Structure formats: C-alpha cells, structure tokens
Homo-oligomer: A and B are copies of this chain.
Amino acid sequence: MKSRPQKRVTAESRAKEKSASPGGRPKGTEKTLNRQTVVAAALEEIDRGGLEAFSVRNVAKRLGVYPTAVAWHAASRGQLLADVVTLALVDVRPPGFHDSWQGYLRQTFHRFREAVRRHPNIAPLIGTQMLANPTVELEFIEGLLASLHHAGFSGTRLVAAYNAVLAAIVGFTAQEFAPLPPEQTSQWQEEMRERLAGVQRVRYPLLADNMKLLGNKAFTLRWQNGSEAPLDASFEAFIEIFIAGLERFRSVG
C-alpha cells in the first residue's frame, strides 16, 4: 500500500513532464528517472523478451538503477503494465476529419491493429488492462462515441454500439497477436501440425475438408501468431461484417 502521491499519465501530464526538464538540461540526457522513462523502458523490455521476460528488476537493470528506484516511479507492477498498454496505444485515434462514420470506424480498427502489431507482446494485456484503465485516453472514447452518434445511435443503443466496437476490436487483435507457448516453440509447432493433419473426416468433416484453408489461418488452429502469419483477409472481412451489423442495428428496435 503506497501512500505516496502518484501522478496520472494522461496526454496533458505527459506533455507537461516533457517540457519541464529542470535547469534547462537537454532532453535526451536527463540524469533523473521519469515516470515516462520507466514506462518506455518497460515497453522496450516487453518488446524484446515478451511478458515472460518482463520484471521490475529487469527494467531496473535496463535503466541501470536499483529495482526500488523503478518501484518509486511505477507504484506497482500492475500499474506499470497498465501504463505500458496506454503508451503502446497512444495515437490510435484517427486524425483529421472523415466523410463517413463507417470510414472512421474502419480507420480505428486498422490503426488499433497496427499499434498492436508494433508491440505484439502486449497482446495478452489489452483485453485485461484496458477495460478498467483510467489512463486510457478520453479522446479515443469521445471519437468513437462521436462516430456512432453520427451514425444515428443515442441513449442505451449508443452504449451498446460502443461496447460492441471495443469488444470486436480488442477480441480480434488480442487473439491474432497472442503469443505461442514458449516451451520449445518449434517442437510445439510440429505437434500442432501433426494433430491437425490427423483429424478424422468421420468425426470432423468440415475441419478435415477445410484444413488447408484453416491451418495457421484460423484461431485455435494456428502454429504461428499474427507477427509471423497475419490474418489480413479475415480482419478485413471482420470489419465489414461488423460495420454491416451496425448499419442493420441502427434501423431496428
């Protein structure tokens, strides 16, 4: 239980910290640790070695300080991970103006996926740490609400549509880039392929008949994740399915 005051990481506070380098020292050569420096180092650590390799102590090693120095800025391991997600998802909100709400949603889906693609090892966190994360940018949420409002949703249907967008966007990307089991991957891959090759047509006709199309291209039937075998076609289809569903949902009820 920390009683120490903790600043929130928001777009504003982050910009403020950046410009407030004490004594006018050049930005790149800060002698003291920032909260943003620590979070950035944590993200680098995860990018390099995955969540398995991540630890407060490793981040400290990367920064050349004692583990307790990291703890001072990060408050807790959980909070640090939440901040890492926020950092990785910065700038997902589509910039500029848009002609249609469908176009805005398509861009949001694509930009979100690109953000996860840049930091695939955070995939297991986005479903977990975003939900109840006060550090998530309100601009992103307001942008989604605006596009859905423009589509004609209001009241409880606006809430439902918003939840549907987040469920869809997080569900696809989290699974697409989820890590493979680390225990000797190549061996596991071989097992997976053998198992799929041995599927009996009698019991699983559709699986067997479509195995060539499904293998490594369908969730739970893959031996590589989105970093090595991206599901581009399925993602595009998913966006169109979802938007078509929203268009329909708009006109019923």
Question: B-contacting residues of A (Cβ < 8 Å)?
Answer: 1, 75-76, 78-79, 82, 123-124, 127-128, 130-134, 136, 138-139, 141-142, 145-146, 149, 155-164, 166-172, 174-175, 178-184, 191-192, 195, 199, 203-207, 210, 213-214, 217-223, 225, 231, 233-234, 237-238, 240-249, 252
Contacts and interface: CB of A to CB of B under 8 A. Distances in A.
| Copies of this chain in the oligomer | 2
Given A76-B183, A132-B222, A220-B130, A146 B206 contact: yes
B175 A145 contact: no
A234 B160 contact: yes
A147 to B, nearest CB: 10
A155 B214 CA distance: 9
Contacts of A218: 159, 162-163
A158 to B, nearest CB: 6
Contacts of A139: 204
Contacts of A221: 141
